[in-house]
Amino acid sequence: MKRATLFLTLVLVFSLFAFGGIIDTIKARGYLVMGTNATFPPFEFVDAKNEVVGFDIELARAVAKKLGVTLRVIDFAFDGLIPALQADKFDIIFAGMTITEKRKEVVLFSDPYFDAGQVIVVRKGYKHFDDVDELTNEKVAVQTGTTGDLMATEVPGIILTRFPHFTEALMELSLRRVNAVVIDSSTGEAYIKFNPNLEVGSPILSAESYGAAIKKGNEELLNFVNQVLKELKTSPYDALLDAWF
Ligand code: ARG
């Protein structure tokens, strides 16, 4: 009996080493794989040197650094990100992804790291919209699978075109093929900076928070990411207070 217990304990301890958790897997591999869709400035976009940069990349880099590994970024279709995460193509999604109840059914979300909401971007002087419902009979572009897409899809009589990239949706707007784009507030503002012919034509229409998405079962990585986010959010002063009191 005693022997059996010892044996079982050994097997258990051994298997813990042999099949370490997700963190061990990442450390052994030497890099963290992040999935994103890089048409979402300032969170992720392709710069002049053809590199994917942005706020989300820096967050993922902080996680990778704390793990002692490098970061690999995979630029993917936004609506394919969650299925690809499930299929282990990445360890984590940082994509300005809104934490929603529906998505929570299939992935884990980190603590929120940014607050945003949808706005309607138009060509300068086109129209002002007080509510998303006023998009009835308007030609509107969105990025496929985004919360902006979901919001616009609900509007009766809207003439909606979905694009895999936000860059394309905004191009259609500039080219007058559509009259509005439903997009996250900070990203809308970022695009307008580069396109002086466009403006925000609505108030912020929703309250959303972004989180990093992680595959269900990888709670270990989730806790690690939350810890890193917490450390990033804490000011040096708060850290001093924590250390001394
Ligand atoms: N926040 C919106 C959503 O979660 C849009 C995110 C789009 N992100 C991107 N990287 N293209 O649906």
117, 209 in Cβ contact below 8 A? Answer: no
- Taking the centre of ligand 1 as the mean of its atom positions, its distance from the CA of residue 43, in whole angstroms, is 10
The 10s digit of each residue's pLDDT in 214-230 is 999 999 999 999 999 99
Alpha carbon separation from 4 to 7, 8, 14, 16, 102 (Å, rounded): 5, 6, 15, 18, 46
| Residues within 6 Å of ligand 1 by CB | 36-37, 39-40, 44, 78, 95-98, 143, 146-147, 166, 184
Which pLDDT band, with edges at 50, 70 and 90, does 10 fall under? low
Q: Is the pLDDT of residue 1 over 60?
A: no
**pLDDT of 26:** 98
- Taking the centre of ligand 1 as the mean of its atom positions, its distance from the CA of residue 244, in whole angstroms, is 40
The 10s digit of each residue's pLDDT in 136-192 is 999 999 999 999 999 999 999 999 999 999 999 999 999 999 999 999 999 999 999
d(CA 43, CA 136): 30
Q: Which two tokens stand for residue 203?
A: 């108030």
Is pTM beyond 0.85? Reply is yes
The 10s digit of each residue's pLDDT in 98-117 is 999 999 999 999 999 999 99
Q: Which two tokens stand for residue 64?
A: 């990778």
142 by DSSP, 3-state: which? strand
Q: What are phi and psi of 141, to 5 degrees?
A: -115, 145
Nearest CA to ligand 1 atom 12: 146
Q: Give the other-Cβ count within 10 Å of 17's Cβ.
A: 8
**pLDDT of 6:** 66
Average pLDDT over the chain reads 94
64 by DSSP, 3-state: which? helix
